[in-house]
A = this chain, B = another copy of it.
Amino acid sequence: MSTAPRAVVVVTGDEVLRGRVADQNGSYLSAWCDANGIAVVMVTIVGDEREVIARTVREHLAAGVDLVVTTGGLGVTHDDLTMAAVSEATGIALAEHDPALRLVRAASATAPHHRSIPAHIREATERKQAMLPRGAVMLAPIGTAPGCIVPIGEQRVVVLPGPPYELERMWADATTAPVLAELIARAGGPARRVLRLHAVVESQLVAALDQMPKGTRDGARLGICAKAGEVELTLADIAEGGAQRLGDAIERAFPGATFTRTGEAIEQVVGAMLADRGQRVAVAESCTGGLLGSRLTSVAGASAWFVGGVIVYNNALKRDVLGVSDEILTTDGAVSLASAKAMACGARALTDADWGVSITGIAGPGGGTPEKPVGTVCIGCAGPDTVAVEAHHFRGDRALIRERASVYAMHLLRRALGDAAV
């Protein structure tokens, strides 16, 4: 991998630098590069200042990276300065690009609210967006702004827009452009595998790996990353057989914990298991308020195995819609194993699904008691033959507790599906 092309991503935008918008583009491009054998050495987020953008691009080019990708700053406002900054950094003057101007005008004409903008303002912004460094390869607008690829000897600067949807599509176009073909061919694709485990913490995995015979690791570079309720192990520079042996050794150390050796998210894993079995799932959510359903339905084609469910944030709904008994609600409480069980069964019965998954808990910051502090979450999974329930105490703030609850509920379903006869 020593000849892998090296890349830098320069994310521009005051809104990102000031933390009002989380960066998506840097991580999207990094992930793409990583999956395709390009080594991203740095992601830099800078504000909407022409000199800073120009200096950053110039320094990275001077340091000899093969590829600099910029995102953002191609819009119509006075703080959209990236094209000018790239011109300054590369010493290549901007010029009006005729095909770009035609495409900008066509995109502008079909945009919502086109008529509400005075003609002279529209004309000026259209011309601004059609200025590209001379000799650059234009990338057609996805929204209204074109991007471009600037060749400088063997180096390439790719200028992309800020909205993630536009960026992803324009990057897809860029990667098929002949001017990037040699660089991408040289990258030669991935040599990396991603294993994901549930119910194992980072330090346990570290200890297990340290205790394995050295041959098992086989020279592979390992990366370990903890996520909410999961831990991800990345193997780089490892052959097929070596990855298989290491995966098997981890399975022996933590039976059943590895839920993918090919990097899928848990919602994709349970979706595929349900689809394989021709079965369907429904949810009953209290403290997560729809987060579990939202994650499951983020998978394209989820309608094949997800029917729906209920969000029962208050007790009357738990009783009236799901049939949780007054006795359970008053004796055990809404956050209890008995309630989680009744909710899972109730979701299954209401929707006629094969599986019902429930979450009821205290996400905080209010609502905790000495017996049931914030972070107490009960989850349930009812299937054709069995019902499983679990109680957890999750650390973290409201968002993290809700996220962990959703992740653990999906893993409870995964194990139940694995245990059930196919």
Across the interface, A116 reaches (CB within 8 A) one of B204, B234, B288, namely B204
Are B46 and A18 in contact, CB atoms less than 8 angstroms apart?
no
B-chain residues with CB within 8 Å of residue A364 when the two chains form the complex: 300
Using known A-B contacts A314-B303, A400-B165, determine if residue A45 contacts B47 with beta carbons closer than 8 Å. Answer: no
Using known A-B contacts A118-B207, A313-B297, determine if residue A113 contacts B201 with beta carbons closer than 8 Å. Answer: yes
Are B201 and A112 in contact, CB atoms less than 8 angstroms apart?
yes
- Mostly helix, strand, loop or mixed at chain A's interface? mixed
A interface bracket (residues with beta carbon within 8 Å of B): 35 or more
Using known A-B contacts A20-B225, A44-B42, A76-B206, determine if residue A309 contacts B308 with beta carbons closer than 8 Å. Answer: no
- Among A16, A30, A286, the most chain B Cβ lie within 10 Å of the Cβ of A30
Across the interface, A307 reaches (CB within 8 A) one of B34, B314, B351, B397, namely B314
**Scoring A residues 211 to 248 as 1 if CB is less than 8 Å from chain B, else 0, what string do you get?**
10000000000011111000010100000000000000
Are A232 and B43 in contact, CB atoms less than 8 angstroms apart?
no
Copies per complex?
2
Within 8 A of B (CB), among A237-275: none
Asked whether any CB of chain B lies closer than 8 Å to the CB of A311, the reply is: yes
Are B77 and A125 in contact, CB atoms less than 8 angstroms apart?
no
B-chain residues with CB within 8 Å of residue A22 when the two chains form the complex: 22-24, 27
Within 8 A of B (CB), among A303-332: 303, 306-314, 316-317, 321
B-chain residues with CB within 8 Å of residue A286 when the two chains form the complex: 308
Are A30 and B43 in contact, CB atoms less than 8 angstroms apart?
no
Asked whether any CB of chain B lies closer than 8 Å to the CB of A1, the reply is: no
Are A43 and B44 in contact, CB atoms less than 8 angstroms apart?
yes
